[in-house]
Amino acid sequence: MLKIFLAFVRKETFHILRDTRTLVILFGMPIALVLIFGYTISNEFKGASIAIVDEARDALSAELIAHLTASGHFELVAQPPDMAGMEKAFQTGEVKLGIVIPAGFEQSFFREKRAAVQLLADATEPNYATTLTNYATQMITAFQQEQGRVEVLPYQVGVHIQMLYNPTLVGAYNFIPGVVALILMLICAMMTSLTIAREKETGTMDLLLVSPLSPMVILLGKVTPYVVLSFVNAVIVFLLGYLVFDVPVRGSIVLLLVLCLLYLMVALGLGVLISTLAATQQTAMMTSLFTLLMPTMILSGFIFPIASMPTALQYAAHIIPAKYFIEIEKNIMLKGAGWEAVQFSSLVLVAMMLFLFAAAWRNFKVVYD
Amino acid sequence: MQRLLFIIQKEFIQIFRNKGMLPLITVVPIVQLIVLSFAASNEVKDVNLAIVDLDHSQYARELVHKIEVADRFILVDFPPATRHGDERLQDGTVDIVLTIPPDFEQDFFKNKGAAVQLLVNAINGQQATVGAAYLSTIVRDFNQEIQQDVLPVRRLAAGAPRIEIASSNWFNEELNYQYFMAPGIMGELVTILVMLLTAMNIVRERELGTIEQINVTPIKKWQFILGKMIPFLIVGLILLTVGLTAGKLIFDVPFRGSLWVIFAYCLVNLAAVLGLGLFISNISDTQQQALLTTFFFVIIFILLSGLFTPIESMPTWAQYLTVPNPIAHFVHVMRSVLLKGSTFGDVLYNFKVTAVLVVVFNVLAVSSYRKVV
């Protein structure tokens, strides 16, 4: 029995190793993802192109414009003559923020002590618009204080903010756990469902099953190489996180890796289950893509915080295995938590694993017995 | 010409024959659109807060009340001591612990530098920063209010000239996040689906052996490639229509610009993406390879397209990478035309660049197709 199992493991391993391109992608993708997340994805405000409608055209308005552009954050790319021109500037995508300085700006400011300025933000991207408006407001307020020579008022209440567990708010603490969850799901669920579906499609599955070998052994033999592959991949991602982005593992590494294996088993169960339901590789692929990978990316809390989602989706997030695994990862890696803290999530994963194995086994028997 | 029509007919028959695929290419993308548009929000609400009030003064109570009515926070607990607050952070029941130190009110009246402390669980970056920012704003407002008690109002108003800033949000007054996400997601889903289907297509025929049957026919390369592309072009356009309808019905996405521009652009974009898909299909030996290669491209395209995070926040070298990225252009055109009412002229640049991509990808596709394996 063991010999047969090992024979299948070897066969599948050779299949995998012979396919260099797949291997390159399977190892290259997580590395590429980590690098992209680390170096390009952010919500940081770096600067914006602005347009200014200057109806005042006096000395003070010129000074305000100079003040705004001198900071280096705002680049003046257009000076439309009117609001219609401003709208056009937005529509071409040239600018994201517009400023209107009304006529008589200097007079109003110095004589009547009150001048008005209008900020127009391109709110197609709501968060960005809010950030831009805030920045511009700060800069204009600073200009106002400069011009009016106001001293700092006494009787201030200070706010001391201390960020815990993530002292520099580095995004890496968020996406490294997520990428590991994603890649484990990709390899263990999608790849295994594909490999089994492929044997079904080309007809070799039936050949295997009419032989006197136990289907369970065949199945185990086929999926074991993928388990090993994905585990190695996960370790690489953790190492990458540690070496390049200083993402630590403050808790027990052993506990982390054991729970990785648990999650891996859940993904495996999902993969096998899908393969029992899909007749062709195409179907297996589309099914695992849309029911596994997409929800894992979207609802697991990896990219978008679960707390920001509408309630219905928050409930839906509870059936995504990745959500629990990512929580486990973050607790162990960033908070240094031990078994007690991750107990609940781990038990949920165990329950999922058992359920999936049972369902897959039932399907398998029904079809092939 | 006739041969071309026959190939197109064959492809459609094959698409419809595969019963498992049909829901996957119609229902599932729509579900994705809905789920993703709702899920992909960076709006911060319901931040779990614990307040440790060591002062118990009038001002402390007023501040707490102010936070309560702000509606952004869920006041989970009022621990009696700071270490209880720390425990709450550790076990994750709260995101922020606000501590009002003893003698807070007294220190304020004596102008000794009263301060409050925020301990923030920064594991989920956004909740932390935005939550802390909201709290800071509330404290600042509170500060201004209680300053009235100490300083005569006259002193504050006289002398200093002020600039009053009126800000307005154009194209999306209520800052509705779904208006922002749904058009982009529509573009992205159509692109992914069509690219996946195309990429799997030729390889599948090669794996199953039916490609050899086609190869022995007198069909020409270009007829074969076109014959594969046109059905998927049609599928893509239909999908876009369904997506736009769903977007309108469910999210009430504004349609300020011309839908002709949208469809025309979709056609050009699909032609480019199909070319890329076919190229991948030609150079892959197995469906699995085709799938993984496509997935690899798609994920990178999506992340770097400005769909979820702004292109302006990327480093300059990454911003250049958005030029050959079809999804980046599609998302931009969808958002500009639908939400801002941009015209054909406004997005001409996108049309031009995508047209270049059409040529590049399809030349690659045609030249990589080997009729003799």
CB contact under 8 A, A109 and B161: yes
What are the chain A neighbours of B304 within 8 Å (beta carbons)? 36, 40
* Helix-helix angle B177-208:B21-39, to 10 degrees: 150
CB contact under 8 A, B120 and A109: no
Residue A4 buriedness (CB in 10 A; 0-12 / 13-18 / 19+): middle
Say yes or no to pLDDT of B262 above 90.
yes
Please give the residue of chain B at the shortest CA–CA distance from A141.
Answer: B163
The predicted structure's pLDDT at residue B127 = 66
- pTM summary value: 0.81
Averaged pLDDT, A54-67: 89
Q: Residue B129: pLDDT band by 50, 70, 90 thresholds?
A: low
Q: Residue A303: pLDDT band by 50, 70, 90 thresholds?
A: confident
Q: How far is CA B181 from CA A78, A333, B343, in A?
A: 28, 32, 20
The predicted structure's pLDDT at residue B263 = 95
Smallest CA–CA separation between A172 and chain B, in Å?
A: 10
Say yes or no to pLDDT of B238 above 50.
yes
Q: Residue A289: pLDDT band by 50, 70, 90 thresholds?
A: confident
The predicted structure's pLDDT at residue B69 = 87
Q: What is the C-alpha to C-alpha distance for residues A18 and A225, in angstroms, rounded to an integer?
A: 13
The predicted structure's pLDDT at residue B211 = 79
Q: Residue B266: pLDDT band by 50, 70, 90 thresholds?
A: very high
Between the two ends of chain B, the Cα-to-Cα distance in Å is 25
Please give the residue of chain A at the shortest CA–CA distance from B349.
Answer: A92
CB-based contact (8 Å) between B255 and chain A? no
Dump pLDDT digits (tens) for B222-236: 788 788 888 899 989
CB contact under 8 A, A174 and B125: yes
Dump pLDDT digits (tens) for B172-216: 887 788 888 899 989 988 998 889 888 888 888 887 788 788 878
Cβ atoms of B327 and B294 within 8 Å: the answer is no
Say yes or no to pLDDT of A369 above 60.
no
Averaged pLDDT, B247-251: 90
The predicted structure's pLDDT at residue A169 = 45
Averaged pLDDT, A196-220: 77
CB-based contact (8 Å) between B42 and chain A? yes
Say yes or no to pLDDT of B157 above 60.
no
Q: Which domains does chain A have, with CATH numbers?
A: 2-41+170-368 (no CATH), 48-147 (3.40.1710.10)
DSSP string, B269-309: HHHHHHHHHHHHHHH-SSHHHHHHHHHHHHHHHHHTTTSSS
3-state secondary structure of A110: helix
Provide ipTM, 2 decimals: 0.83
Say yes or no to pLDDT of B308 above 70.
yes
CB contact under 8 A, A33 and B299: yes
Dump pLDDT digits (tens) for B21-55: 777 777 878 888 888 888 877 666 778 888 999 98
Q: Residue B88: pLDDT band by 50, 70, 90 thresholds?
A: confident
Say yes or no to pLDDT of B72 above 80.
no
Averaged pLDDT, A15-42: 86
Dump pLDDT digits (tens) for A151-191: 555 666 777 777 776 544 456 777 888 889 988 888 888 88
What are the chain A neighbours of B261 within 8 Å (beta carbons)? none
Q: Are strands A114-122 and A97-101 parallel, antiparallel or unpaired?
A: antiparallel
Averaged pLDDT, A298-320: 81
Buried b (16+ CB within 10 A) or exposed e, A252-291: eeebbbebbebbbbbbbbbbbbbbbbbebbbbbbbbbbbb
Q: What are phi and psi of A167, to 5 degrees?
A: -55, -30
CB-based contact (8 Å) between B67 and chain A? no
Say yes or no to pLDDT of B310 above 50.
yes
Greater pLDDT, B234 or A361: B234
3-state secondary structure of B240: helix
Partner residue opposite A169 with nearest CB, options B122, B139, B172: B122
Partner residue opposite B39 with nearest CB, options A32, A148, A299: A299
Q: What is the C-alpha to C-alpha distance for residues B297 and B276, in angstroms, rounded to an integer?
A: 10
The predicted structure's pLDDT at residue A135 = 79
Q: Residue B20: pLDDT band by 50, 70, 90 thresholds?
A: low
Say yes or no to pLDDT of A205 above 80.
no
CA atoms within 13 A on the CB side of B325: 25
Cβ atoms of B85 and A164 within 8 Å: the answer is no
Say yes or no to pLDDT of B276 above 90.
yes
CB contact under 8 A, B41 and A308: yes
Q: Which of residues 187-206 of B touch A (CB under 8 A)?
A: 196, 200, 204
Percent of chain A with pLDDT over 90: 17
Dump pLDDT digits (tens) for A89-145: 999 888 999 999 998 888 888 888 788 899 998 988 877 787 788 778 878 878 887
Please give the residue of chain B at the shortest CA–CA distance from A337.
Answer: B90
Greater pLDDT, B307 or B268: B268
The predicted structure's pLDDT at residue B264 = 95
**DSSP for residue B340:** I
Say yes or no to pLDDT of A368 above 70.
no
Dump pLDDT digits (tens) for A236-253: 999 988 888 888 888 888
Q: What is the C-alpha to C-alpha distance for residues A73 and A25, in angstroms, rounded to an integer?
A: 39
Say yes or no to pLDDT of A149 above 70.
no
The predicted structure's pLDDT at residue A167 = 47
For residue A326, what are its two tokens? 């990512």
Q: How far is CA B91 from CA A301, A308, A336, B132, in A?
A: 18, 20, 12, 19
Say yes or no to pLDDT of A337 above 60.
yes
Amino acid at position A49, single letter: S
Buried b (16+ CB within 10 A) or exposed e, A110-140: eeeeebbbbbbbbbbbbbbbbbbbebbeebb
Please give the residue of chain A at the shortest CA–CA distance from B125.
Answer: A169
The predicted structure's pLDDT at residue A233 = 92
Tell me which residue of A36, A128, A138, A174 sits closest to B313, measured CA to CA. Answer: A128
The predicted structure's pLDDT at residue B372 = 54
Q: What is the C-alpha to C-alpha distance for residues A194 and A187, in angstroms, rounded to an integer?
A: 10
Mean pLDDT over all residues of chain A?
A: 84
Averaged pLDDT, B264-289: 90
For residue B320, what are its two tokens? 């250049």
Q: What is the C-alpha to C-alpha distance for residues B98 and B85, in angstroms, rounded to an integer?
A: 9
Say yes or no to pLDDT of B153 above 70.
no
Please give the residue of chain A at the shortest CA–CA distance from B21.
Answer: A283
Q: Which of A72-81, A282-291, B6-15, B116-125 has the highest mean pLDDT?
A: A72-81
Greater pLDDT, A58 or B149: A58
The predicted structure's pLDDT at residue B15 = 78
Q: What are phi and psi of B92, to 5 degrees?
A: 85, 10
For residue B73, what are its two tokens? 């926070």
Q: Which domains does chain B have, with CATH numbers?
A: 2-41+173-368 (no CATH), 47-158 (3.40.1710.10)
